Structure 1
Amino acid sequence: MIRLHNRRGALIGLGLAAVLTLGACSGNDSPGTTGIGQTTTANAQETAASPAKVSVQPGDGAKDVAPGDAAQVTVTDGELQTVTLTNPDGKQVAGELSADKRSWTVTEDLGYGKTYTWSGTALGQDGKQATVAGSFSTVSPRKQLSASLNVGDDQTYGIAMPIAVTFSSKVTDKAAAERALSVETTPETEGSWAWVSDTSAHWRPKEYWQPNTQVKVSANIYGLRIGDGTYGKRDVSAAFSIGRSQIVRGDTTTHHMQVIRDGVQIADYPVSYGLDSDPGRVTHSGVHVVMSKHATYSMSNPRYGYTDVNVPWAVRISNNGEFIHGLASSVWAQGKQNVSHGCLNLSPSRAKEYYDGVLTGDPVEITGSTQTLSAKDGDYSDWTYSWADWTKLSALAS
């Protein structure tokens, strides 16, 4: 009996040893800790919540801010609760909060020469509020520059139509101005801006427009720095369409011109072109673009002894005096000789037929003459450049 009692005691001792051993192994699985309570405290310290960090742009105290610059509040380690930007009259400026509530951006134009004040709150990950605060002042420009377009809303143009943005004075920072210009097309169309002068930038597609293309051009220059203390006065934009394809092809040596519409020749007119033997009267070879049309037009050229000669159904194709128009007095030469002063003479009835179907922006391709159209011959000489040369005229060309 005594031996049995001692055996039971030995078993009890072994059980206690096993429990102690298991406890020691559990402690060794988590280095640097001595118990469950201590581990929980360490994890809490590692995941401590952060306060919200608010940033305003323009920053507090900023001066001479361009109204076109971005105005925004951002927050890290938190979310924006309320944001207000107030003008000097106490009116709130419109803005938009991002979906993740981490930024708020001004969505309306700021004014020139005004002070704006930020206010609002953000909630940090630590559950505490942070303040949105500060103020800034916009610039009072020494000079403002405006822009105008050669295209209009809801108008339809021909497949060679260039887009022209003309500025009210010389642009010294052409790169800044060009970044504010945009052309959106459906379908997508490859094209480029080019500075044809210090006051004018043109956009031209690489090839003729695809018929029925929808186009929107914008010059978002308001509030923009354009160099030498000059800022943009207002934005301008227009949405227009490209119509059917129509191309005139004329050869001065054959004394004819053909009208091709949507790939089909619809007319072949006898023409009298400019007198080839006189450099002052020759019709230039090259791609002309229809600039305007007039039911009647008064023509003058004192050098050649005529003023205020009214001609019917006049379609301007360059700024060097070239038109397609009717002229009854040269019908005898049309289709046979070139006797005009640079224009394409048709009979009045044929001129009317062409006039009725023409669009501003239609190309007129002339070949065969002794002189070639160049950039100096008018505002719509964009097609006188090769594509490689055209793209070099961009202020953003690399």
Structure 2
Amino acid sequence: MRLPWRVLLGALAAVLLISSCSGQPQGQPEPAPPVAAVHFEPGAGAGEVSPTAPIKATVDQGRFESVQLTNADGKAVAGQLSPDGKSWQATEALGYGKDYTWSGQASGADGKKAPVQGSFRTVQPKKTVRATVNPTDDAQVGVAMPISVKFDEPVKDKAAAERALSVQASTPVEGSWAWLSDKQVDYRPKEYWPANTHVTVKADLYGVSYGNGSYGLADLTSDFDIGRAQIVKAAVGTHQMVVMRDGKQVASYPASYGEEYDPGRNTPNGTYIVMQKNPVEIMDNPRYGYHDVRKTFAARFSNHGEFIHENQENAAALGKVNNSHGCVNLSAADAKAYYDSALLGDPVEVTGSASAMEPRYDVYDWILTWDQWKAKSAL
């Protein structure tokens, strides 16, 4: 059966009408996307991000109406939006092994909105390493006191750790860090600290990669003071122990140093520091057959075993004969006077001995020459 031409023309007109109502008019372009372009640092989807890396969002051809970075618990990260609204930067360190998500909205120069969206993940350390710093806050120490940063685990990337350390002194000094082991780095000035100097140490170790998957656990700081300049001049041949304070002699105590003709009993040449003070010290030396010997007013200046201490039993030799086992013997009264005047970190300069101390016993920082010391820096 044939349909009339009138019916066919009507059906075609209906199809064209439906097409024109439901689609984009032919020849018309798609709507332009928003011109505002949001960028992230680190990039969206990044992993293994350092928690102390710069965390930033910026927008081209527009500004942020809102922007936020949150952790997996929904807590917002503290940050600062620039005055022109074109950038936002985190102002706090992030956590280890955490997911962070961007949210918000940017408004473009064309008036269109663009979403702020993306995420990244921070690095998960195999191990976090604790560190300590000495001297501690509010300490008052002698002019030869080094700054010592000690780590719980060996540090492979010493340069990275050292770059995170800084020292500021109220009286500027020339100084350097030196690695004394894989777990200890010390700082000392080229010359003794100036008296009455205030020192600030910053160890920005959180987020620092030490290598082998180990990272710094926390930042450290210390503020301490250098006291008066007191120096012991221990010239063994004089049988006297001279105390200099701020450039003037304040005491000369009759002393007995180590036996000069037995290398095992010498008081070795070297520059040491007072590293410990004990009102009573129990001493042992199996090689020379004595045990549990009680001496008072003992100031240790080497972990090799040397002290300045009372030895009233050796009074006949004080000022006359060197017959100790390496320590500096003083009378009870003189030992107490010196002990009461000493600060940890005061230098003890031993000269005129038949032997010198090897640089292997704490604290040997001042036994090394300045060039030897600087050579131990990782930078």
- TM-score w.r.t. length of structure 2: 0.86
- CA distance 1:75–1:160, shift in 2 (3 Å): farther
* Counterpart-to-counterpart distance in 2, 1:131 and 1:339: 84
Partner of 1:201: 185
Out of 29, 38, 42, the residue aligned to residue 58 of structure 1 is 42
Unaligned runs of 5+ in 2: 1-33
Partner of 1:176: 160
Unaligned runs of 5+ in 1: 1-49
- CA distance 1:147–1:338, shift in 2 (3 Å): same
Q: Secondary structure at the match of 1:177?
A: helix
Is 2:350 the partner of 1:352?
no
* Counterpart-to-counterpart distance in 1, 2:82 and 2:262: 68
Out of 352, 373, 376, the residue aligned to residue 368 of structure 1 is 352
Is 2:131 the partner of 1:153?
no
- CA distance 1:254–1:182, shift in 2 (3 Å): same
Q: Secondary structure at the match of 1:85?
A: strand
Runs ≥4 in structure 1, deviation > 6 angstroms? Answer: none
Partner of 2:245: 261
Out of 228, 241, 248, the residue aligned to residue 212 of structure 2 is 228
CA-CA distance at 1:123 after TM superposition = 4.8
* Counterpart-to-counterpart distance in 2, 1:303 and 1:367: 25
CA-CA distance at 1:102 after TM superposition = 4.6
- CA distance 1:85–1:362, shift in 2 (3 Å): same
Partner of 1:333: 317
- CA distance 1:79–1:272, shift in 2 (3 Å): farther
CA-CA distance at 1:118 after TM superposition = 1.6
Identity of aligned residues (%): 52
Partner of 1:29: none
Out of 142, 145, 148, the residue aligned to residue 126 of structure 2 is 142
Partner of 1:5: none
Please say which structure displays the higher CA radius of gyration: 1
Partner of 1:83: 67
Deviations 1:214-268 (A, max 9, x none): 1111222122211011111122221111111111111001111111111111101
Out of 309, 319, 324, the residue aligned to residue 293 of structure 2 is 309
* Counterpart-to-counterpart distance in 2, 1:100 and 1:154: 43
Counterpart of 1:285, as a letter, is: N
Contact conserved, 1:118 with 1:134, CA < 8 A, in 2? Answer: yes
Note the 1:1-398 alignment, pairs <5 A.
Answer: 51-76=35-60, 78-98=62-82, 101-124=85-108, 129-378=113-362, 380-396=363-379
CA-CA distance at 1:84 after TM superposition = 1.3
Counterpart of 1:168, as a letter, is: D
Counterpart of 2:332, as a letter, is: P
- CA distance 1:326–1:205, shift in 2 (3 Å): same
CA-CA distance at 1:106 after TM superposition = 2.0
How many residues are paired up?
346
Counterpart of 1:382, as a letter, is: D
* Counterpart-to-counterpart distance in 2, 1:255 and 1:283: 12
* Counterpart-to-counterpart distance in 2, 1:138 and 1:55: 18
- CA distance 1:319–1:95, shift in 2 (3 Å): same
Q: Secondary structure at the match of 1:384?
A: coil
Counterpart of 1:324, as a letter, is: I
Counterpart of 1:392, as a letter, is: A
Contact conserved, 1:67 with 1:224, CA < 8 A, in 2? Answer: no
Partner of 1:27: none
Deviates more, 1:206-215 or 1:97-106: 97-106
Q: Secondary structure at the match of 1:266?
A: strand
Contact conserved, 1:69 with 1:224, CA < 8 A, in 2? Answer: no
CA RMSD, 1 decimal: 1.9
Partner of 1:38: none
Q: Secondary structure at the match of 1:383?
A: coil
